Amino acid sequence: MTSMAERLLDVAMARESVLAAARPLPPEPVELTAALGRVLAEDVASDGALPPFDASAMDGFAVLAGEAAELEVVGESRAGHPADRALRPGEAIRISTGAVVPEGAEAVVPVERTESDDGIGPADRRRERVHVPERSPGDHIRRSGEDVGAGELVLSAGVRLGPAEVAVLASLGRPEILCGPRPCVAVLVTGDELVEPGTPLGQGQIRDANAFALAAQAERAGARVVRRAVVADDLEATVAELAEALEIADAVCVSGGVSVGPHDHVKPALARLGVGERFWGVALRPGKPTWFGLRDRTLVFGLPGNPVSAMVTFHLFARPALERLAGAAEPARPRAFAVLDETVARHPLRDQAVRCTVTVASDGWHVRPTGPQGSHVLTSMLRADALAVIPAGEGEVPAGDRVDVELLR
């Protein structure tokens, strides 16, 4: 085991180390109705064109192209009920939006651009006539394949399915698709001082926030929380809880007790259980005492106890790993630039993840720190839309500079 003082890993390298260790879990079939938020595990191509036929974009009349004319209405093509005959010169076929353009027709004229001949009433529909203006071939026709060509690759493995992806899969006729599984996560929090909400606080006690934060973040990341436990600051208890968590989870997140104090038992417990250390100590504020290791394919994150540090390090390291376990192609959140609205002092040795509120102005995104940034100030996570990354160094980053931001939501 290395001592943290020897070297702190930079944030990007720590994230790379985590992603290198996280290999996608075997996919499983998922019904489309349950697929929202899941990661697609297959490439999806269309088995036919979309739209599948030339369709009308308007309610109106299917006609030949040409000069203004008076035409005889000879039938109707409704959505789901094509006309029973082809169109011939001198004729129009009434058509609705989404209906098949009848064979022989070249254009659709919207109903509001036509005039019906009132002289012949509906009682004699076979002789109903319509006056249409000049129109060109293709007017108001949605061509077959305009959206998707037959055999075209539409979605690639690794995308997270949002409402649009689910809708496209439905339109491609897929009631079921292969998805990455929801990784199983165990959340353990350590500390003799911790009390669950609902229990009165005794001397020196605080409420456990991390079990709630980390479980919520894990769920947000698409994982299933299979275990939550508060563990006393006791080596044997820590070994017992971690041993069980390692059996049932794809990733274990344990907070607190990871430092080198006499009551910090997480690292010795993990060593005893054969979890190999990948890194210990990240050049990050908050979040320096972050540990990451592996037993077989199970990932173990030893996160700091301070609630803000726990949440920030979960976001930066555990969340991308969970997304990779689920098969996500691009697990890191998109980064962007934003104008910093408040001067921030740099830390000489560590990058800072500053919790910020994002606003939009005429020159793009702006970020402003949510308030005091102590790692115990959990309310600084309220209204935090993004982490602004302030690189290590001397001096300060003045208000007005552009900074790298990583979205939290």
Positions in the binding site for ligand AMP (CB under 6 A) = 189, 191, 193-194, 206, 208-211, 255-259, 304-307
Of 60 and 191, which CB lies nearer to Mg ion in the complex structure? 191
State the nearest-atom distance from the C-beta of 1 to ligand AMP, in Å. 17
Strands 60-63, 44-45: pairing kind: unpaired
State how far the Cα of 191 lies from the Cα of 251, in Å rounded to an integer.
20
Nearest distance, CB of residue 238 and ligand AMP, angstroms: 11
Q: How far is the CB of 233 from Mg ion (least distance, A)?
A: 6
Chain-centroid distance, C-alpha 286 = 25
Q: Which is nearer to ligand AMP, 181 or 256 (CB)?
A: 256
Q: What is the enclosing helix (H) or strand (E) of 215?
A: helix 210-220
Count of residues of this chain found to bind Mg ion when the rule CB under 5 A is applied: 4
Comparing CB distances to ligand AMP, the nearer of 184 and 258 is 258
Closer to Mg ion by Cβ: residue 24 or 191: 191
In angstroms, give the least distance from the CB of 324 to ligand AMP.
26
Q: Closest separation between CB of residue 146 and ligand AMP, Å? A: 55
Residue 191 is a binding residue for Mg ion (CB under 5 A): yes
167 binds, among Mg ion, ligand AMP, none (CB under 5 to 8 A by kind): none
CB of 262 to ligand AMP, least distance (A): 11
Q: How far apart, in whole angstroms, are the C-alpha atoms of residue 159 and residue 388?
A: 26
- Chain residue whose CB lies nearest ligand AMP: 305
Site mask, Mg ion, residues 281-320, x = CB under 5 A?
Answer: ------------------------x---------------
Radius of gyration of the chain measured on its C-alpha atoms? 31
CB of 209 to ligand AMP, least distance (A): 4
294's contact among ligand AMP, Mg ion, none, with CB below 5 to 8 A by partner kind, is none
- The amino acid that residue 7 corresponds to is R
Cβ at position 299, least distance to Mg ion in Å? 22
Alpha helices (H) in 67-162, listed in sequence order? none
Nearest approach in angstroms of CB 355 to ligand AMP is 17
Strand 276-280: give its sheet, edge to edge: 224-231, 184-190, 251-255, 298-303, 291-295, 276-280
208 binds, among ligand AMP, Mg ion, none (CB under 5 to 8 A by kind): ligand AMP
DSSP H or E stretch at residue 237: helix 235-248
* From Mg ion, ligand AMP, none, interface partner of 210 (C-beta below 5 to 8 A by class): ligand AMP
Please classify residue 3 by burial: count the beta carbons closer than 10 Å to its beta carbon, then call 0-12 exposed, 13-18 middle and 19+ buried.
exposed
3-state secondary structure of 17: helix
CA–CA dist 294, 19 (Å, integer): 12
Buried b (16+ CB within 10 A) or exposed e, 99-129: bbbbebbbbbbbeeebeeeeeeeeeeeeebe
Mapped onto helix, strand or coil, the DSSP state of residue 120 is: coil
Q: Can residue 257 be called a binding residue for Mg ion (CB under 5 A)?
A: yes
Look at residue 27 and give the partner it binds from ligand AMP, Mg ion, none, a contact being a CB closer than 5 to 8 Å depending on partner kind.
none
Which x/- pattern, by CB under 5 A, does the window 196-235 give for Mg ion?
----------------------------------------
- Nearer to Mg ion by Cβ, of 175 and 202: the residue is 202
The answer to whether the peptide bond before residue 304 is cis (omega within 30 degrees of 0) is no
Q: How far apart, in whole angstroms, are the C-alpha atoms of residue 330 and residue 159?
A: 8
Q: Is the Cβ of residue 178 or residue 311 nearer to ligand AMP in the bound state?
A: 311
User: Whole-angstrom Cα distance, residue 24 to residue 3?
Assistant: 31
Binding region for Mg ion (CB under 5 A): 191, 256-257, 305
